[in-house]
Structure 1
Amino acid sequence: MNRRDFLLTGAAAGTLAVADTWTPAFARPRSKLRLGMIGTGLRGQSLMGSLLGRGDVEMVALCDIEPIMLARAVAAVEKAGQATPRTFGADGDVHAYRRLLELDNLDGVIIATPWEWHAPMAIDAMQAKVPVGCEVVAGITLQDHWDVLRTQQETGTPYMLLENVCYRRDVMAALNMARQGVFGELVHLQGGYQHDLRGVKFNSGHPDEPYGSGVEFGDKGWSEARWRTRHSIERNGDLYPSHGIGPCAHLANVNRGNRFTRINSFASKARGLHDYLVDKAGPDHPNAKLKFAHGDVVTTQIACANGETILLQLDVSLPRPYSLDFRVQGTEGLWMDVNNGVHIEGKSPPHKWDDAQEWFAKYDHPLWKKHAETAAGAGHGGMDWFVLNGFVEALKIGDPMPIDIYDAVTWSAITPLSEQSIAGGFETLDFPDFTEGKWKARKPIFALDSGY
């Protein structure tokens, strides 16, 4: 038995009497957390910035196989006035994170690496009894999701998917409206990820030019262009569903009195990335001859046990302004974010929209009222602060994770299911019940209502 397991066993038995003996946060309440970060690229550094601004978090260990990013992350920790963290991975060992997980004083770890590493890293962390805050997505294959779920169930180690859009201010106001019955009985929901990522998937390969700087990818690219572009070449499905489905699932009480039952997906032809490369580099550039499997617009439909329908769209390869295209529609009215409009029967002018901000000011979520000033300036309009705060506060006091393991695998499994549907001629599939029937008894709560 290693020291971590010994301490856990002792804590459970009530035998730890030495005041300074370390015990992980999920074994007993703590006022301060010692966290590690696996993946210190641009996303990892952004998340770390929010964590370093807290007085209850110490960043004690960092891991990345890119020395430039690792050095910048270390410098950020030192600039924040914290002790120089332990580092792993500068030698290029892709499994260096396992050495980080062997440290005997970690209260949790943030995983902000390329998608294909999320499942194996989370599994290794949970097996080491290190709580996980994992960037989206939870896994690649359907089996990945079952493996992540089983590991969490077997080890009891906390796991949270860091889906920040669930904390977007307008999304939470709409949730508050729905909870108070303003929309009536919910009937239909929409969301998605509609964001021009052409300049993200290709760049010059220079560390200080990650966006819109060129047409390279893979080994010649940098940051997301190094790994994310390959998924567009090889895969066809909704590869990034959680920004849209997370808020919709909370609104529909999925996994808490409701569940997804059926799913199908459709993909358009692929033209956007090819045309972008031709325009930027000319038809003779080697990358202009690439064949992309991923359709430019992927549309996914989901049916729920309680009768709601959900529509998701992924649109990241064509020129367009950013939008998550939320729609919350019930028997008494609806909100649509694309036109910033709310219409409530009997309260809005007939057949006309109200400015959504008038309603959101009235129904602003209590969490935003409480923390808006603290979250100001954090990534993605404050959403990053909120999602990390949920992880940190739940871990400190031993509460369930705000976005728990069932949420994580259910939302993320849309990706492999959509791939299967498209490959099968847009067939409709049964949606797995990851709760294995527990959804019927779980209460329709949303952990954001907890007060932190």
Structure 2
Amino acid sequence: MKPNRRKFLQQLALGTSAMAVGLPSFATESINREETPSAADHRGSAPRFNMSGYAAPKIDKVRIGIIGLGMRGPGAVSRMSMIEGVEIKALCDKLPERATKAQKYLTDKGLPKAKEYSGENGWKEMIEKEDLDLIYSCTPWYLHTPIAVYAMEHGRHVATEVPAALTIDECWQLVETSEKTRKHCMMLENCCYDFFEMLTLNMARQGLFGELVHAEGAYIHNLLDLNFNKKGYYDMWRLKQNIGSSGNLYPTHGLGPIAQCLDINRGDKMDYLVSMSSNDFQMGKEAEERAKTDEFYNQFVGKKYRGNMNTTTVRTAKGKTMMIQHDVTSPRIYSRIHLLSGTKGFASKWPDPERISFGEELVKEADLKKLYETHTPPLIKHVGDIAKKVGGHGGMDFIMDWRLIDCLRNGLPLDQDVYDAAAWSCILPLSEKSVAKRSSSVDIPDFTKGSWTSNKPVNLTLDGGGNTTVRSIKS
């Protein structure tokens, strides 16, 4: 069989398989398509405009449109409605009743109702018609890049849920659009704002661990029942994302915090990776068991599911290593690992308890408390207590949202930029590529196009900001 015909038939088979489970066509293309030549490592020479450290003009009142009001969106509406200097002007979801329901978070606080949008293309209509500063996207993954690109092209800053992109092409689309429009594109990686992660980031920057040599992160979270629950994710979209090639489907919760500690894109860069996946021992069997009593699940029987455990290792340009794991089926204790290993010290949290050492002896509880007192960054000291009252994964969601708004209102650089969104998200398609090639090494694109050598870490102080207040919170 000629190579071109073989390739055509392989692509046809992949498309037919995905269509059989009802995956939207554009999502199927994102997951299964081969990268085009434009997705090469360099994709041009210098960046059009370096967004690292970029401070956009100040916005006194940030007008927000929130898209996606299923799992994550309502929480974002609630949190943002508590921040002064925010006006939620528009709410959008494919299902109109969700947008209507989300209004309660506004009316309960005596705030004006937002304009409601719904339907397949309601998000486009909202972006086109509403006078907005920021689009906050909480949709299924395959819509993250299309929404972000469209919003930036229409003059809006973007905050998008994770992962920001599903393919290398999409990663480059985000980077190039952000550079061209000079609009922020921040991935909403909330785990970067958790209390221990922020403590260890500040300690790493102060050199308390010495030279960091190795770091580990993970997303180990048993979602087997939720992914197969008909009342869980709309149209079973997250389960459908698990069908197809195998890799690290959801890398950024574990990767984001350790990438910041290693100054990725700001003094170092990820160079190449190697990835390996187990077989699937659970999702296929779960589908078969459920189909015995409910014919609805027959559509999920006989599919190729991702391996239960994926382990991806990364080497950086400066010779440091990272390990990222993904497992959403095993009955294990929730863990993001968050491990830092340096020449003078070590830190690890997940699973609990938190552990720090400067030698072979672990820091005692009283001394750990002192480390929190002396090395928690000003950002967390300023808003952490309020965040714990508001909630949202222990408060880290609110810290992330407050910080985003405070930076926009004061014209400050964001903690996470478009290069972080691209670099952290690209592990998904590149890990799939490595697994498919028997765990061969795969190069990781430099989305900064060389600027990583001079980009500076974002300041974790409140210099120039910190003046964004919060509406009264009940204890």
TM-score range, shorter chain: 0.7 to 0.9
Q: Following the alignment from structure 2 to structure 1, what is the Cα–Cα distance between the partners of residues 114 and 240?
A: 32
Give the structure 2 partner of residue 240 of structure 1. 250
Q: Following the alignment from structure 2 to structure 1, what is the Cα–Cα distance between the partners of residues 277 and 178?
A: 33
1:274 paired to 2:284: yes
Q: Following the alignment from structure 1 to structure 2, what is the Cα–Cα distance between the partners of residues 426 and 283?
A: 38
Give the structure 2 partner of residue 343 of structure 1. 357
Q: Is the 8 A contact 2:90 2:116 kept in 1?
A: yes
1:105, distance to aligned residue in structure 2 (A): 2.1
Q: Is the 8 A contact 1:159 1:401 kept in 2?
A: no
Give the structure 2 partner of residue 14 of structure 1. none
Q: Following the alignment from structure 1 to structure 2, what is the Cα–Cα distance between the partners of residues 428 and 381?
A: 37
SS of the equivalent of 2:333 reads coil
1:71 paired to 2:100: yes
Structure 1 residues 27 and 436: alpha-carbon distance in aligned structure 2, compared to 1, 3 A threshold: closer
Q: Deviations over 1:119-169 (max 9, x none)?
A: 011000000001101111111111011111111111111211111000000
SS of the equivalent of 1:294 reads coil
Q: Deviations over 1:160-188 (max 9, x none)?
A: 11110000000011112212222111110
Q: Following the alignment from structure 1 to structure 2, what is the Cα–Cα distance between the partners of residues 365 and 399?
A: 17
Give the structure 1 partner of residue 301 of structure 2. 289
Q: Following the alignment from structure 1 to structure 2, what is the Cα–Cα distance between the partners of residues 283 and 295?
A: 25
Q: What is the TM-score of this pair, normalised by structure 1? A: 0.84
SS of the equivalent of 1:448 reads coil
Structure 1 residues 55 and 253: alpha-carbon distance in aligned structure 2, compared to 1, 3 A threshold: same
1:277, distance to aligned residue in structure 2 (A): 4.4
Q: Is the 8 A contact 1:174 1:360 kept in 2?
A: no
Q: Is the 8 A contact 1:250 1:446 kept in 2?
A: no
Alignment of 1:69-218 (within 5 A): 69-89=98-118, 92=119, 94-205=120-231, 210=232
Q: 1:379 aligns with which of 384, 392, 406?
A: 392
Q: Following the alignment from structure 2 to structure 1, what is the Cα–Cα distance between the partners of residues 355 and 210?
A: 17
1:363, distance to aligned residue in structure 2 (A): 2.5
Structure 1 residues 282 and 449: alpha-carbon distance in aligned structure 2, compared to 1, 3 A threshold: farther
Q: Deviations over 1:227-270 (max 9, x none)?
A: 11101122311111111111111101111111011111100110
Give the structure 2 partner of residue 313 of structure 1. 325
The share of aligned pairs that are identical, in percent, is 34
Q: Is the 8 A contact 1:300 1:312 kept in 2?
A: yes
Q: Is the 8 A contact 2:162 2:189 kept in 1?
A: yes
Higher relative contact order (CA 8 A, sep 6+): 2
Gaps of 5+ in 2: 1-54, 467-475
Amino acid at match of 1:46: G
SS of the equivalent of 1:149 reads helix
1:55, distance to aligned residue in structure 2 (A): 2.0
1:67, distance to aligned residue in structure 2 (A): 2.2
Structure 1 residues 362 and 273: alpha-carbon distance in aligned structure 2, compared to 1, 3 A threshold: farther
1:42 paired to 2:71: yes
1:447, distance to aligned residue in structure 2 (A): 4.2
Q: Following the alignment from structure 2 to structure 1, what is the Cα–Cα distance between the partners of residues 256 and 59?
A: 29
Q: 1:414 aligns with which of 424, 427, 435?
A: 427
Q: Following the alignment from structure 1 to structure 2, what is the Cα–Cα distance between the partners of residues 191 and 320?
A: 15
Q: Deviations over 1:193-227 (max 9, x none)?
A: 0111112202143xxxx3xxxxxxxxxxx43x621
Q: Following the alignment from structure 2 to structure 1, what is the Cα–Cα distance between the partners of residues 73 and 459?
A: 24
SS of the equivalent of 2:240 reads helix
Q: Following the alignment from structure 1 to structure 2, what is the Cα–Cα distance between the partners of residues 408 and 53?
A: 26
Structure 1 residues 362 and 29: alpha-carbon distance in aligned structure 2, compared to 1, 3 A threshold: closer
Q: 1:435 aligns with which of 426, 433, 448?
A: 448
Q: Deviations over 1:49-98 (max 9, x none)?
A: 11011121111111111123222112322222221211111xx3x22211
Amino acid at match of 1:194: I
Q: Which is further off, 377-386 or 28-37?
A: 28-37
Structure 1 residues 289 and 226: alpha-carbon distance in aligned structure 2, compared to 1, 3 A threshold: closer
Q: Following the alignment from structure 2 to structure 1, what is the Cα–Cα distance between the partners of residues 130 and 392?
A: 31
1:360 paired to 2:372: yes
Give the structure 2 partner of residue 20 of structure 1. none
Q: What is the TM-score of this pair, normalised by structure 2? A: 0.80
Q: Following the alignment from structure 1 to structure 2, what is the Cα–Cα distance between the partners of residues 284 and 55?
A: 49
Q: Following the alignment from structure 1 to structure 2, what is the Cα–Cα distance between the partners of residues 319 and 281?
A: 22
Q: Is the 8 A contact 1:192 1:312 kept in 2?
A: yes
Q: Which runs of 4+ in 1 moved over 6 A?
A: none
Q: Is the 8 A contact 1:61 1:100 kept in 2?
A: yes
Structure 1 residues 111 and 284: alpha-carbon distance in aligned structure 2, compared to 1, 3 A threshold: closer
1:31, distance to aligned residue in structure 2 (A): 2.6
Give the structure 1 partner of residue 416 of structure 2. 403
Q: Following the alignment from structure 1 to structure 2, what is the Cα–Cα distance between the partners of residues 395 and 353?
A: 38
Q: 1:30 aligns with which of 56, 59, 63?
A: 59
Q: Following the alignment from structure 1 to structure 2, what is the Cα–Cα distance between the partners of residues 59 and 103?
A: 15
Q: Is the 8 A contact 1:296 1:315 kept in 2?
A: yes
1:29, distance to aligned residue in structure 2 (A): 2.4
Q: Is the 8 A contact 1:403 1:447 kept in 2?
A: no
1:324 paired to 2:336: yes
Q: Following the alignment from structure 1 to structure 2, what is the Cα–Cα distance between the partners of residues 449 and 276?
A: 48
Amino acid at match of 1:344: F
Q: Following the alignment from structure 1 to structure 2, what is the Cα–Cα distance between the partners of residues 47 and 363?
A: 29
Q: Which is further off, 317-326 or 118-127?
A: 317-326
1:374, distance to aligned residue in structure 2 (A): 1.7
Alignment of 1:5-24 (within 5 A): none
Give the structure 2 partner of residue 5 of structure 1. none
1:352, distance to aligned residue in structure 2 (A): 5.1
SS of the equivalent of 1:262 reads strand
SS of the equivalent of 2:99 reads helix
Aligned residues: 403
